[in-house]
């Protein structure tokens, strides 16, 4: 099977069960950024030295693939819904638990933290910023078209988790967080 189809050469792409749209559409942008986030997590996996953090990132990658499939499958009136794996809604609460566990190990946050520290933490901060962009793009899409609200909740919680995991990666690597200093300090 060839990987290229030439069907997108005119700037249009297929949605699951919903015809073709411009590659510049809000929907394609949203699921494309979720895909970019998945790639950022994959890269962070190569930088994180902690096995428990890496294990969680691998789980999240599979979740993001599901989120992307839902974003690429808009409901179409008069057509049967495309059968998709269920959204990982329970993971939202699990991410909250993961954050609570991590925060038990971390010193209290008393200043703004800049991206950086260990390689793993820096990669997690990059993933966090891509996650925030994905969230903004999904919210923009939801203002114009139907989007399952749990996708927005998931991305919002994931960006928080990535911040906490970046701090945890620094802590476990024996590297301090990079703290923002006001001018003159």
Task: Give the tens place of pLDDT for each residue, 112-152.
Answer: 999 999 999 999 999 999 999 999 999 999 999 999 999 99
pLDDT of residue 6: 73
Average pLDDT over residues 40-54: 97
The 10 Å Cβ neighbour count of residue 166 is: 28
**179 - beta bridge partners?**
113
Cα-trace Rg, the chain = 18
Domains of the chain: 17-75+84-179 (1.20.1200.10)
- Rounded to whole angstroms, how far apart are CA atoms 26 and 145? 9
pLDDT tens track for 155-170: 999 999 999 999 999 9
DSSP state of 83: P
């Amino acid at each position: 099977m060839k990987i290229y189809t030439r069907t997108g050469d005119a700037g249009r792409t297929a949605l699951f069960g919903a015809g073709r749209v411009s590659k510049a559409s809000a929907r394609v942008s949203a699921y494309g950024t979720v895909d970019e986030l998945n790639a950022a997590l994959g890269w962070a996996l190569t930088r994180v030295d902690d096995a428990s953090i890496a294990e969680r990132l691998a789980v999240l990658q599979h979740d993001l693939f599901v989120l992307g499939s839902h974003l690429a499958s808009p409901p179409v009136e008069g057509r049967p819904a495309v059968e998709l794996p269920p959204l990982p809604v329970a993971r939202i609460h699990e991410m909250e638990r993961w954050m609570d566990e991590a925060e038990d190990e971390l010193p209290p946050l008393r200043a703004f933290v800049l991206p950086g520290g260990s390689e793993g933490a820096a990669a997690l901060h990059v993933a966090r910023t891509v996650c925030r962009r994905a969230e903004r793009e999904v919210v923009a899409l939801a203002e114009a078209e139907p989007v399952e609200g749990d996708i927005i909740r998931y991305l919002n919680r994931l960006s928080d988790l990535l911040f906490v995991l970046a701090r945890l990666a620094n802590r476990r690597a024996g590297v301090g967080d990079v703290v923002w200093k006001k001018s003159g300090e």
